[in-house]
């Protein structure tokens, strides 16, 4: 199971780099061609995430994983900290082969590959777009936004916005009817999966 998830993450990073690192003749590429590459990557990313989510749901029923989570929750609360959700814990458990040294090292290596591919691809795209002129500026901004969201998705996060429009990156694996202390703020997920942030004015809804 661990090999499946980590290999899927690594494959996504490799495919992402292959799809977006532009060759020397990038100026000959059309806007439609770049958009098609972006669409293909987004489709692969969504398919991989769906498969990973399915595997995680299966492992959440594993008594061994449940026991490990109970031990983790006990340790975390004893230290005065707030435990992550069971779903998020299960993802980390599977991805690192039960938090083993070898599994954790492999997971971190794949994460590093993802980040390196994203950074390299972003640099190549920015250079190609600079050569093509102002007509591609909007495309660049859109691609960079997709790129950032792709990185978040691989880490189990999404961008949420408050009424003032300010963005905040939060784990989208939080379970319904839960509260979380995260980066100095308190968040709540209601029965419908909607996110809220606690303020002096009460719970303020967030949206994606």
pLDDT tens-place values along the chain, 208 residues long: 444 555 555 555 445 444 444 454 554 456 666 667 777 777 777 777 778 778 888 888 999 989 999 998 998 889 888 888 888 888 888 888 887 888 777 777 777 776 766 666 666 666 665 656 555 666 665 656 555 555 555 567 778 888 788 888 888 888 999 999 988 899 999 998 899 999 988 999 998 8
Contact 13, 117 (CB under 8 A): yes
Domain boundary among 155, 174, 191: 155
pLDDT of residue 194: 92
Q: Beta partners for 55? A: none
86 shares its domain with 164: no
151 shares its domain with 197: no
The boundaries of the domain holding residue 82 are 2-155
d(CA 116, CA 10): 11
179 shares its domain with 198: yes
d(CA 107, CA 113): 10
163 shares its domain with 149: no
pLDDT of residue 14: 45
pLDDT of residue 130: 60
Sign, Cα dihedral of 170, 46, 18, 112: positive
* Secondary structure (3-state) at 184: coil
94 shares its domain with 178: no
- Number of domains forming the structure of the chain: 2
d(CA 176, CA 87): 11
Q: Can you give the C-alpha Rg of the chain in angstroms?
A: 19
12 shares its domain with 93: yes
pLDDT of residue 189: 93
73 shares its domain with 175: no
134 shares its domain with 68: yes
137 shares its domain with 162: no
CB atoms within 10 A of CB 201: 6
106 shares its domain with 191: no
């Amino acid at each position: 199971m661990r090999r499946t998830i980590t290999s899927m993450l690594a494959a996504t990073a490799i495919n992402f780099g292959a799809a977006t690192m532009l060759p020397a003749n990038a100026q000959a590429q059309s806007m439609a061609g770049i958009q098609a590459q972006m669409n293909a990557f987004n489709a692969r990313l969504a398919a991989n995430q769906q498969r990973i989510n399915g595997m995680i749901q299966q492992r959440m029923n594993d008594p061994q994983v449940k026991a490990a989570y109970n031990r983790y929750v006990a340790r975390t609360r004893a230290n005065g900290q707030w435990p992550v959700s069971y779903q998020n814990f299960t993802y980390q458990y599977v991805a690192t082969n039960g938090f083993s040294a070898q599994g954790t090292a492999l997971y971190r290596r794949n994460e590093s590959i993802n980040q390196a591919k994203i950074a390299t691809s972003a640099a190549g795209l920015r250079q190609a777009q600079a050569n093509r002129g102002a007509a591609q500026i909007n495309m660049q901004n859109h691609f960079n936004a997709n790129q950032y969201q792709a990185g978040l998705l691989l880490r189990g996060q999404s961008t949420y916005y408050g009424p003032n429009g300010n963005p905040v990156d939060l784990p989208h694996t939080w379970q319904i009817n839960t509260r979380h202390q995260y980066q100095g703020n308190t968040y709540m997920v209601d029965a419908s999966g909607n996110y809220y942030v606690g303020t002096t004015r009460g719970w303020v809804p967030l949206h994606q």
